[in-house]
Chains A and B, each alone.
Chain A
């Protein structure tokens, strides 16, 4: 029964570890039964040929394993797939445009080098690499969201038509917007913590790798606060996505995060040097701080004057 053992083992290789031994044992027993029965009916020996015939009828190991495997077999399901495709379609042209801009400004030219096929190939390689990196983070974020949303929905969740939100619903969550926010938060957290070299500007008329890092050693003192902020912002966006709509508590939490960001930015702008080009970067961050403060005021105003987050529920 060597072929049956190999088949059962192969099916097991495509299954979660906890199911493997049990399914393999059952398959061995079932297939042995099938082979014996066919041998008896046909009056032929239960040899390799008959085993192969039974296994062919049974199907390819990965197809059989897919029927045994519990739960959905995909990373990104039909609900989020359109938003994922949109995000990819938005991301790729932006990346291409950035690379073209850098190429046009001579960013990939070594000192004294003229534009040539080599430079073009180098720029294309850089684009493909960036596209892969971004696609990886984007896919990871979408997969996490898919998993989080899947856990939220029991199959027997009742549908109440009376609870349908109104057509003009300010609290409806845009999947695309929230997921892009999650993606950007994840990207920033990974870049600042794991690949600080990504936080850099390409140096024009320099060699390909000559990108000037923007972060100075002094920036490290702000990283813990930023990490907490990114973590909380990620969790809030995930919670809002799972619920499918904004509520008053999540709006207040969002406001709190906006205030937190303003506080961190204020500390950075008024603190000791943290960047390679400290003065110009802090001017830019000062503007960001201004926008954040205005945004927080607008949020507070809306929160204080607004009707309940679910107006139809109050009706």
Chain B
């Protein structure tokens, strides 16, 4: 099945985590209402 993840991927060591710092950070989306940015519209 397309959704299966290999069992060998279930365990990963701390070193692998340290090497991927950007991937471990939580993603927080910021939003901004931008109606009428320029003043004429």
Do chains A and B stick together as partners? no
